[in-house]
Structures are given as structure tokens and as C-alpha cells.
Structure 1
Amino acid sequence: MANGHRSQIKRDRNSRKDNRPSAKLSFARIPVQKACFVMDAIRGKDVAVAEGILAYNTRYASGVILKLLKSAVANAENNNGMNPANLYVAECRADNGPVMKRIHPRAQGRAYRILKRECHLTIVLDEKKADAE
């Protein structure tokens, strides 16, 4: 059983809220595996470097993720007052979304199933720590 009443559990969870700037895209028409190839390339990189990687990547997912990255940078600038030059991609992930099931007719009355996968993309930014030199 859980420790404490559910209102207390919610209060504790909300007190530890993550205040880093982020952007989320739900129900993107990209399979998770294909989105992860691009996400892995930008994880931990500076925003300028990540934008360059995404701009010259030929995968379809890179265009969608570039748009999401720019949205996260705008959120950091407008909502948190952060300098875009000091930002880096702290966390990025692609989670499974719903799967659209379609039918492809085949010979002799058979039907093959086609799975059109979706994913939820999340990018979290953070500011670089200033070196104490």
C-alpha cells in the first residue's frame, strides 16, 4: 500500500516539480525506433550544435524534432528568462503512443495487418554550469 493519503502523495509529488524548460509533442506519426536514432544524436549537446545536427540530418524525424527543439528554446527564453547560448539538451526521449491498425488485403481473401505507430516526443533543456575558474 502507498504511504499516506492520496492528497498527501499528490502534494509531495507537486512540490518536487521539474522547473527546467521543456517541450512535448504528443501523437507524432513517427515510430519510436526511428525517432530514437535522431534523439540519441542530440542528447547532451549544446542547442546550437543540436540544431546543426538536426538541420543536416536526412531522416524525416529530424525535421519534427528540430521544430520541437526550437519550441523548447523559445519556452526557456520567454518563460524562464534563460539565455539560449547557455542551453543544452539535458534530456530527450521518445515514448510509445497509440498504434493505428490497418488492413492490407492479400490473395485468397487473406488480410495482413499494417501497424502505423505513433510516439510522444519530449525535450528538456538546462543551463550549462559556469566553470569556477
Structure 2
Amino acid sequence: MEAIAKLNNCPTSPRKMRLVVDLIRGERVEKALSILKFTNKEAAIRVQKLLLSAIKNWEAKNEGTSAEENQLFVKTVMVDGGRQLKRLRPAPQGRGYRIRKRSNHVTLIVDSKSTETTQN
């Protein structure tokens, strides 16, 4: 059983967010939380909150079982580009430089490792 958490229009560039997200992809939830806690990037705080939200979503979906008993792991994390705010900055000789303030959408899926293997 898997649970999904989404973060939309996060005001960080997708490239910077992917650096943090690549650290936790495929890891166990406990290890991923400790990695994010000690990562020295602003995006790590946002991803940590998103991961906690995904864990709570999983617990709400699977009532009666706790996340500690099952082997929860980060199944999928996707970072897509969001909207861009376009601004102008003054430049020499009356010109204007375009500044693109980027944002992103993050989708995080948490799943529990099943101990049973089904064979057909």
C-alpha cells in the first residue's frame, strides 16, 4: 500500500531541489529523515516536511498499523518545473536583463516493503 504527498509551486529552482531529492530516493524512511535533517540546504527542510506528510498519509490509509512496524521506504520522488515569474533587472545603457524566478512541483510516494512474494 502506498501513499502520496505533493508540494506545488515551491519557490526553489527544480535543479536545486533535485540535488536534495536524489539523496533520499529509494532509502528507508528513517534513514531519509536523518539525511534530510543534516543536509545543509534550504530545500531539505521542505522535502523533510513533505516526507513527514507522506508518512502521515500512509498511516491514515492503513489504520491499525504504524510506520515503525512496517518497512516504509521512499518509492518515487519526482521534481517537475512549476511556473516562472518573469522580472526585469536594470542593466547598463538602458537595457533590461530578464530574471526568471523558478518554482517546482514535488511528488513523493512512500510504500511499505511486503514480506510476501507473490509468484504466478
Structure 2: segments with no counterpart, 5+ residues: none
TM-score (norm. length: structure 1)? 0.81
List per-residue Cα deviations over 1:32-76 (Å, max 9, x = no partner).
111111111000000000000000000110000000000000011
Which residue identity is paired with 2:4? Answer: S
Higher relative contact order (CA 8 A, sep 6+): 2
1:84 to 67, 90, 93: 67
Q: Which has the higher helix share?
A: 1
Q: Which has the higher strand share?
A: 2
Deviations 1:61-100 (A, max 9, x none): 0000000000000011112335312210000010111111
- Which segments of 5 or more consecutive residues in structure 1 lack a partner in the other structure? 1-18
Give the ranges of 4+ consecutive aligned residues of structure 1 lying more than 2 Å apart after TM superposition: 79-83
| CA contact 1:97–1:120 (8 Å) conserved in 2 | yes
The 2-side partners of 1:80 and 1:105 are apart by 55
Identify the match of residue 96 of structure 1 among 81, 86, 92. 81
Provide the aligned C-alpha RMSD in A.
1.4
Identity of aligned residues (%): 36
Deviation at 1:131, TM superposition (A): 6.5
User: Are the counterparts in 2 of residues 45 and 88 from structure 1 also a CA contact under 8 Å?
Assistant: yes
Post-superposition offset of 1:108: 1.3
SS at match of 2:2: coil
Work out the number of aligned pairs and report it.
Answer: 114
Amino acid at match of 2:47: I
Larger radius of gyration: 1
Q: What is the aligned partner in structure 1 of residue 9 from structure 2? A: 27
